[in-house]
């Protein structure tokens, strides 16, 4: 089994400057390099096959997605996020508060939760922990449970 160190040792031994290398010694280095590349290729091909054999996410994994403009958050506030109705209120909201200010520190002191899920909306609770003036939007995706 060829290793990187084994190949480097062969190169240092057989291909050193001012060495009288034979064709056999040169062929040893070439063979070691090719064997190493074949092994690495086999590993990569197996990893590609493993990835390709992963089950695809269900086509309905994200049944709704959208963006709700928030703007500045007072100390405690909420927003109702409406969407096209679905069959159940048994879902998960995956969300991200996105800061639009140039100054990151103005937008990073807010956290959120959801409540009051219905088949066509949820309540987005927001809490600010500093007096900064935010400019936020809430990106979300809804996944059925």
DSSP state of 108: S
Q: What is the mean pLDDT of each run of 10 residues along the chain (145 residues)?
A: 75 73 80 84 88 74 90 89 94 93 83 96 93 90 92
Question: 15 in helix, strand or coil?
Answer: coil
Question: 45 in helix, strand or coil?
Answer: helix
Contact (Cβ atoms closer than 8 angstroms) between residue 122 and residue 115: yes
Q: What is the pLDDT of residue 51?
A: 86
List CB contacts of 16: < 8 A, sequence separation 6 or more.
Answer: none
Q: What is the pLDDT of residue 86?
A: 93
pTM above 0.95, yes or no: no
* Rounded Cα–Cα distance for residues 29 and 12 (Å): 10
Q: What is the pLDDT of residue 119?
A: 96
Q: What is the pLDDT of residue 59?
A: 61
Decide yes or no: CATH 2.60.40.2080 for domain 62-144.
Answer: yes
Q: Taking the domains of the chain in order of start, what are their residue ranges? A: 4-52, 62-144
Q: What is the pLDDT of residue 50?
A: 86
Sequential DSSP letters for 76-118: EEEEEEE-S--S-S-EEEEEEEEE-SSSHHHHSSEEEEEE---
């Amino acid at each position: 089994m060829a290793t990187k160190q084994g190949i480097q040792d062969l190169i240092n031994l057989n291909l050193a400057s001012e060495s009288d290398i034979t064709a056999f010694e040169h062929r040893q280095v070439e063979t070691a390099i090719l064997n190493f590349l074949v092994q690495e290729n086999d590993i990569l091909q197996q990893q590609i096959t493993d990835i390709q054999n992963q089950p695809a996410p269900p086509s309905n994994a994200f049944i709704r997605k959208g963006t709700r403009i928030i703007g500045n958050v007072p100390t405690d506030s909420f927003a109702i996020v409406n969407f096209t109705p679905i069959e159940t209120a048994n879902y998960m909201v995956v969300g991200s508060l996105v800061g639009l200010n140039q100054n990151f520190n103005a937008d990073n002191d807010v956290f959120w939760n959801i409540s009051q899920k219905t088949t066509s909306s949820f309540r987005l609770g927001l809490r600010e922990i500093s007096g900064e003036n935010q400019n936020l939007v809430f990106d979300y995706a809804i996944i059925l449970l």
